[in-house]
Structure formats: C-alpha cells, structure tokens
Amino acid sequence: MSETGTTVETAVKRLFFALWPEEALRQKLYTLGGELLANNRGRRVPVENLHQTLAFLGYVNAERQLCLEREVSAVQSSAFTLTLNHAGFWPRKGILWVGGGVPEGLLALVRALQLGLTACGLEPETRPFQIHLTLARNVRRLHLEREHAIASLTWPVRQFALVASLTLPEGARYEVLRTWDLGS
C-alpha cells in the first residue's frame, strides 16, 4: 500500500530483449525448421515466436522495466545485417537452431544492452554471445553435422525489441512491448 492507501502495482513480467524478424523471414525460418526436422519428433517454435534473444532479463517489476527502457533509449547503435547460413542441433537440450556469424554491429548492441542491465541492477550474461534462433524444442534425435550448412538467409536488422514471455497451457507466447530503431 502506498501512503495514500492505494495499492502499488507490483506486477512482474518475464522479459527479454530480442531481434524480431519481419514476417517474410519468420515464414522462411519456419519452413526451414520443418524441412530440417523432417520426420523427427520435436515441438516447432510457432512462426510468430521466432526471434533472436539479445539479453534475457527474467522476472522484472514495473520500476525496473522503466529503468531498462530509459537506459536502452540512450543506446547509440547502428543497423547491421545478419547472414544466417548454418543450422545446428544441441542433443542434450533437444534444440534445433539456425545461426550465422556475429557482425560487429550486433556485438556493440549486445554490449550496450548489458551496460543498461547493469545500470538497472541486473546481472548480464557472462557467456560469449552467439547467434541461435531456436526452430524446434524437445527434439529427440536429429542427424545433422555440428553445424549444417543451409542456403543463406539475409536479415537486415533495423530495430530491436523488449518482449514479454507469457506462459500459457499451450506453450509460450511472446508479446513485443516496445521497439527501438537502430541508426543508419
């Protein structure tokens, strides 16, 4: 309760920063996931959920969310292009993914976001950043080389997003809360 007797909003959201592909690229990625999965069992990521996580924030209250939005609004990062040119499979986690090289513009954006997390009292990820868009989960077996070459998909990245993860009985649903444009 606040001093005036009203309830202070204490809602928390499960948040992350991400690159959010345009619809046409998401459709291509979804089709590719189906081709790579073929007759193997696994749960494909719904086309509307395909994304590249930049920084996972966990459960965040409204006050910290405002801090994060304020911090990343000051980010000065340039647009860049991703080339997705290989697929992979992590057997222990049962994850089928697609990835590519990490351009300097992407690394600069990730570093800037990590500084924003730190300024708002969150711990940034310490492992090296790598591109991996999850195409399917709970894949039991998949016969792919460690990094299987695919026809290159070009992704001009012009913005990034703050996304909420909603856990529903039918699976996760992601909601883009806000986007920020990258400079040219």
Give the per-residue pLDDT at 50: 98
All domains in the chain, ordered by first residue: 13-181 (3.90.1140.10)
Pair 55, 117: CB distance under 8 Å: yes
Give the per-residue pLDDT at 41: 85
**Whole-number Å distance between alpha carbons of 100 and 119:** 30
* Residue 73 identity (one-letter amino acid): S
- Per DSSP (E only), the strands in 119-169 are 133-137, 148-157, 159-168
pTM of the model: 0.88
Torsion of CA 128, 105, 16, 118, to 10 degrees: 70
CA distances from 68 to 65, 73, 95, 120, 145 (A): 5, 8, 29, 6, 39
CA distances from 125 to 16, 102, 106, 109 (A): 12, 16, 15, 14
Give the per-residue pLDDT at 10: 58
Give the per-residue pLDDT at 1: 34
| Tens-binned pLDDT, residue by residue, of the chain (184 aa) | 334 433 345 589 999 999 999 999 999 999 999 999 887 888 999 999 999 999 999 999 999 999 999 999 999 899 999 999 999 999 889 999 999 999 999 999 999 999 999 999 999 888 888 899 999 999 987 777 667 899 999 999 999 999 999 988 888 899 999 999 998 7
Give the per-residue pLDDT at 165: 96
